[in-house]
Amino acid sequence: MRARWWVLLGTALLIPALVLLPRYTLAAEPAASPIRIAFGSCNHQRLPQPLWSVIRDRRPDLWIWTGDIIYGDSADYTVLRSKYALLLEQPGYQALRSAVPVIGVWDDHDYGTGQGGIDFPGKETSRRALLEFLEEPTDSPRWTRPGIYTSYTLGSGDRRVHLILLDVRFNRERPGPDADILGPAQWHWLEAELAGKPAALTVIVSGTQVLASEHRWDKWADYPKAKRRLLSLVRGRAPRALFISGDRHIGELTRTAGAEPVLYDITSSGLTHPWTDFPGEPNAGRIGEVVTERHFGMLGIDWQTREVSVELINGAGHSVLRQILPLAGAP
């Protein structure tokens, strides 16, 4: 493990990079070395999990779960806990957890039911199981607020990365023109987050794809009013923002057209069971090809060039999709 340290602002403590606590601002030592953030979704606890060693070889500073951490599909706490335990027993995942901080949010299968939303009666049970799995501190607001949304800040000044993890299940209504996904409290919180923490890069995690709109599966486009509100809010308050999403069992990169600034959504979905016979589907904003093999995502933030690389990486460790984007404040 690299001798990398984070400063816990507001205290006199230095803590090693393998510790990351919610609600605290973590600032890197002033060496300005690149930050590498790995992420992924759709991980069945009973299937082979060969990617963990490949992920470790990329030496990330952080791992983000973007949903479907397990296939819980239950409102029974004992069932959910046993399925998380199977994942925790995976040697490769154990090695990753010992080396880097792990944070995350759910989508539908770890929420407890496919396409689940505001009416799911087991959501408090699912909250308990997930937050225990993530070892969330007992005083974290994620235990009590209407949803498990949260944020983290890495770095400071013009080298700050703002991570926003949305909860797209707890308050999700049935799809419709005026239907909502986030709920009033989460919208209020998101507005405050974006207004109060300017960053070189804002990374917004959504278990559901944000930008792709032409397929028939779960997507923010099924909630057009909420999607317009989200994109308007992000464009108005985050000079360089990037969505990362999961759910689809494919990987792809989508960008907006027309309005500035351009927004991107990198979907990484298929840690254990990708859609290998994917028949194809339209996506007017897609950049590059769809990835239909096991893969994970990686963000590489280079403070010297003021750029972020966005990659999808397969089981052989090869980059199968890559895009370079400028950070806010880049010349």
Q: pTM, whole model, 2 decimals?
A: 0.92
One-letter amino acid at 234 equals V
Domain boundaries, the chain: 24-326
pLDDT of residue 331: 65
Burial readout 256-289 (b: 16 or more C-beta within 10 A, e: otherwise): beeeeeebbbbbbbbbbebbeeeeeeebebbeee
Give the phi and the psi of residue 123 in degrees, each rounded to 5.
-70, -30
The region that residue 62 occupies, defined by phi over 0 for left and psi between -120 and 50 for alpha, beta otherwise, is: beta
How far apart CA 230 and CA 224 sit, in angstroms, is 10
Helices (H), 172-302: 184-196, 224-237
How far apart CA 226 and CA 233 sit, in angstroms, is 10
Are 270 and 320 contacting, i.e. CB atoms less than 8 angstroms apart? no
pLDDT of residue 18: 28
Contacts of residue 145, defined as CB under 8 A and 6 or more positions apart, other chains included, come to 185, 189
Contacts of residue 318, defined as CB under 8 A and 6 or more positions apart, other chains included, come to none
Alpha-carbon separation of residue 206 from 209, 217, 241 (angstroms): 7, 15, 13
Q: Please give the structure tokens belonging to residue 266.
A: 């990198």
> What is residue 31's three-state secondary structure?
coil
User: Is it true that domain 24-326 has CATH number 3.60.21.70?
Assistant: yes
Successive 10-residue mean pLDDT values, the chain, 331 residues: 32 28 41 87 98 98 98 97 98 97 97 96 98 97 98 92 98 98 98 94 98 97 98 94 97 92 96 97 97 98 96 98 89 65
pLDDT of residue 239: 85
